[in-house]
Structure 1
Amino acid sequence: MIIKHFTDNDLYKFSVMMAIQRLYPWAFVKYAFTNRGKTEFPEGFAERMREEVAAMAKLKLTKEEKAFIKKRCYFFDPVFIDFLEGFTYKPEEVTITQNGGELSVVIEGYWYRTVLWEVPLLAIISELYFQMAGAVPQGVTEKAKEKAIALAKMEADFSEFGTRRRFSFNVQDKVVGALQANSGEYFKGTSNLYLAMKYNTTPIGTMPHEWFMYHGAVFGYRSANIKGLEAWVDVYDGSLGIALTDTYTTDAFFNSFSLKQAKLFDGVRHDSSDPLVFADKAIEFYEKNRIDPTSKTLVFSDSLNLESVKAIKDHVAGRMHDTYGIGTFFSNDVGAKPLNIVIKLTDVKVHKKDANYLKAVKLSDVAGKHTGDEKEIDLSLRTLGLEE
């Protein structure tokens, strides 16, 4: 069994889960798997994966996990924590098929439930693939130690974000332990809730792209960012205050980021495009709005390694507080080629009884890398004045 713990998942899935329950409890959605790297999956993969998904129905929140959430996730209300204690996965929400080497995974159900599937399913796909390929990880602890020491020498605040594309749970577990042991104050935590508990560190995460994708599909693309952020504040009242910027391109985000929101949110997160250009845009935005940029935080989380962290840190030095969420470079740098895979929201309904789904799309700061229905992508680009 690959997923052995209920909280072996990223914090942001639980945070958006509470927001969905609070505001959109009737929302009904679909997600779909995309194999960006065109990996060929071995014969029998789908069957093995279905067995792993079926086993997840047995997972339950333990007393230890509940106590940790109550202690460290102060932003979750007691009703939500009690709900998690009674939550069980429903494998029937996940449809897995295989045609030759091509894998298809579709998730469908109430959004407040299905939101938890993305990260563990990606972790299962990655770990199961390497199991079936007979891959053996190399230099796990040694590499993590070297990276931790290097980041500490740079005085770079960083967190581990590697659950979705990890080589395996055991690799991620060893990596988090080595990072914590060798980087002192600069290691700020991990996105993985279970590993945060195991190592008594801070669980890290705020909001996902799907939060804005839902708002874009339902309320319109011009309103998506501002509506999504206002809704987030309605739920968290200022906690979890790092805003994700690139669901409908960074330029569109800053065009709609209001003065009130800019002052309320602690900072912004970069997840695509040139990080140096992004940093300049963020600093310019804050200065234009007479906000001291050094009072805000820039979180960088796009395919980072030691070289890119150093380049960004040198660029923003003294201008803003910078911190780094590092994923695959930590959890799958063990001698095997990591999979390039995602699961994205594709269709939404405000209510299950609605006749038709609305299409959900994500735009990219990189031209030609948008995600979702092509006609809906074209509509969103035209609506936002971003025609290519």
Structure 2
Amino acid sequence: MDRPVTEIAKRVYDHAWRIDPIVRSMMDTDFYKLLMLQTVFQRNADVEVEFSLINRSAQVPLANLIDEAELREQLDHIRTLRLSRGESTWLRGNTFYGKRQMFGPDFMEWLEAFQLPPYELERRGDQYELTFRGSWPEVMMWEIPALAVLMELRSRAVLKGMGYFELQVLYARAMTRVWEKIERLRALPDLRISDFGTRRRHSFLWQDWCVQAMIEGLGERFTGSSNCLIALRRDIEAIGTNAHELPMVFAALAEDDAALAEAPYRVLENWHRDYDGNLRVILPDTYGTKGFLERAPDWLAAWTGIRIDSGKPEDGAETAIAWWESRGQNPREKLVIFSDGLDVDRIEALYARFHGRVKLGFGWGTLLTNDFRGLAPGDALAPFSLVCKAVSANGRPTVKLSDNPAKAMGPADQIARYKRVFGVGAQVEEPVLV
């Protein structure tokens, strides 16, 4: 395995003295984005969308921390990036989820020439308003790099005043924390866990270090990374399936309530045509897991598994198990992937409850790649909840309900309409940690 060639503390210290691009490759994105991108490119390239930055943690004043000129410089740099020849070769020829040539030649030809479209940036009080408008395949690719830039610029702003030795101690403590978590996970013999930490990472260098620690510490129990660039460089599996973006846009395009009720299933019909095997994983919580499964067609019960991404994860998994049983499926043969706000305590508890009842997978995100809680003065490096979401499609607002109403988004009247159409009753609000 390749070892880090540059000491993290030195690189962070050097940020203050020279331009250091945060996103250096088009491949510094999550694998699920490319899978969704191919589906959108093939079927919905003419849909016009708007994506917007949403800071759920208003107590973090991004515009006070991050210099606007520096933010523009980073975003402008990203717009110069294109796939390298080696990156294109990897996408065209590598085996993903057991399948060669996952990405078709027409899509790859388009992607090789692709560059990100313009952005709109304004300061609103102590926050930034960052917006992307245009065709769906082009605009959707802004989500991951935009989040990566803002998260890392916030980290750099906090670290900028620290001396070299102070940075060394900070990162030594953070490394120790990650390694102690890994040591605890070693006690789970059939663990299958991957890195899902790109979107809200501390920095690219830190995510890469965490992945290397997982490789060494967990061996085959570490199944890969969602980050394509890290997967390529570290010769590990690229991990990911689909996200809320697809049903949110499809629902916004629905002409009436009947079409709205069917929109989430239309998304998965397309996915079923495009992908198979372990890529057939349902994300059911966009408009409420319970109602989604109750109305789901029987062919969906035959899919490989389900990803639990909001609400109480125990409740989501129990609902999925009961649904499979009601549809004549054996839950022991099904995959349940937990991916919402995970840390070691929760991973251990979920493993203890569901091990042997289903096939388990864990997508470990922010609290793997950005757990600096209590390590900086004033806890200024604590992780926070920043997202970049589709907010409209062909001029119509998008809506997300979630199993946790704290994560709901969209105009109030449309949220009420969606709750009526999808039969979402009373919900219990859970804290949004990350």
TM over 0.5: yes
- Contact 1:18–1:76 (Cα < 8 Å) also in 2: yes
List runs of 5+ in structure 2 lacking aligned partners.
1-20, 161-166, 376-380, 427-434
Distance 2:304 2:105 in 1: 25
Aligned counterpart in structure 1 of residue 95 of structure 2, from 28, 53, 72: 72
Is residue 2:232 matched to residue 1:193?
Answer: no
Could you say which residue in structure 2 is the equivalent of 1:352?
A: none
The amino acid across from 1:11 in the alignment is: F
Q: Assess, with a 3 A threshold, how the Cα gap between structure 1 residues 187 and 323 changes in structure 2: closer, same or farther.
A: same
Secondary structure at 2:79's aligned position in 1? helix
Distance 1:72 1:198 in 2: 15
| CA shift for structure 1 position 386 | 2.1
Could you say which residue in structure 2 is the equivalent of 1:302?
A: 340
Distance 2:105 2:176 in 1: 41
The amino acid across from 2:79 in the alignment is: A
Is residue 2:262 matched to residue 1:228?
Answer: no
| CA shift for structure 1 position 208 | 1.1
Aligned counterpart in structure 1 of residue 382 of structure 2, from 321, 337, 350: 337
- Contact 1:31–1:344 (Cα < 8 Å) also in 2: yes
Could you say which residue in structure 1 is the equivalent of 2:362?
A: 324
Could you say which residue in structure 1 is the equivalent of 2:14?
A: none
Could you say which residue in structure 1 is the equivalent of 2:144?
A: 119
Query: Cα deviation per residue 1:96-135 (whole Å; 9 max; x = unaligned)?
Result: 1113312111111100111111011011001001212226
List runs of 5+ in structure 1 lacking aligned partners.
350-356
Secondary structure at 2:403's aligned position in 1? coil
- Contact 1:11–1:205 (Cα < 8 Å) also in 2: yes
Distance 1:83 1:314 in 2: 46
- Contact 1:5–1:194 (Cα < 8 Å) also in 2: yes
Instruction: Say which is worse superposed, 143-152 or 243-252, in terms of deviation.
Output: 143-152
- Contact 2:195–2:365 (Cα < 8 Å) also in 1: yes
| CA shift for structure 1 position 385 | 2.2
Aligned counterpart in structure 2 of residue 95 of structure 1, from 110, 120, 139: 120
| CA shift for structure 1 position 216 | 1.2
| CA shift for structure 1 position 44 | 5.7
- Contact 1:152–1:184 (Cα < 8 Å) also in 2: no
Provide the aligned length of Structure 1 versus Structure 2: 378
- Contact 2:55–2:387 (Cα < 8 Å) also in 1: yes
Distance 1:237 1:202 in 2: 17
Secondary structure at 2:52's aligned position in 1? strand
The amino acid across from 1:303 in the alignment is: G
Could you say which residue in structure 1 is the equivalent of 2:279?
A: 240
Secondary structure at 2:384's aligned position in 1? coil
Is residue 2:32 matched to residue 1:32?
Answer: no
Aligned counterpart in structure 2 of residue 13 of structure 1, from 30, 33, 36: 33
Distance 1:255 1:106 in 2: 36
- Contact 1:140–1:174 (Cα < 8 Å) also in 2: no
- Contact 1:215–1:228 (Cα < 8 Å) also in 2: yes
Query: Cα deviation per residue 1:119-171 (whole Å; 9 max; x = unaligned)?
Result: 11011001001212226552343333332232232132100011111111111
Percent identity between matched residues is 29
Q: Assess, with a 3 A threshold, how the Cα gap between structure 1 residues 189 and 43 changes in structure 2: closer, same or farther.
A: closer
Could you say which residue in structure 2 is the equivalent of 1:346?
A: 391
Distance 2:274 2:40 in 1: 9
The amino acid across from 2:260 in the alignment is: Y
Distance 1:116 1:57 in 2: 11
- Contact 2:66–2:153 (Cα < 8 Å) also in 1: no
Query: Cα deviation per residue 1:15-50 (whole Å; 9 max; x = unaligned)?
Result: 111000111110110011111111112266332211
Matches within 5 A, 1:151-190: 151-155=185-189, 156-190=191-225
Distance 1:9 1:300 in 2: 20
Could you say which residue in structure 1 is the equivalent of 2:67?
A: 45
- Contact 1:22–1:235 (Cα < 8 Å) also in 2: no
Instruction: Say which is worse superposed, 214-223 or 8-17, in terms of deviation.
Output: 214-223
Aligned counterpart in structure 1 of residue 300 of structure 2, from 261, 275, 287: 261
The amino acid across from 1:236 in the alignment is: Y
Question: How large is the RMSD of aligned CA atoms in angstroms?
Answer: 1.6
Aligned counterpart in structure 1 of residue 400 of structure 2, from 362, 374, 380: 362
Structure 2 length as normaliser, TM-score? 0.84
Instruction: Say which is worse superposed, 147-156 or 111-120, in terms of deviation.
Output: 147-156
The amino acid across from 1:172 in the alignment is: Q
Instruction: Say which is worse superposed, 158-167 or 326-335, in terms of deviation.
Output: 326-335
Distance 1:339 1:72 in 2: 35
The amino acid across from 1:17 in the alignment is: L
Distance 1:186 1:238 in 2: 20
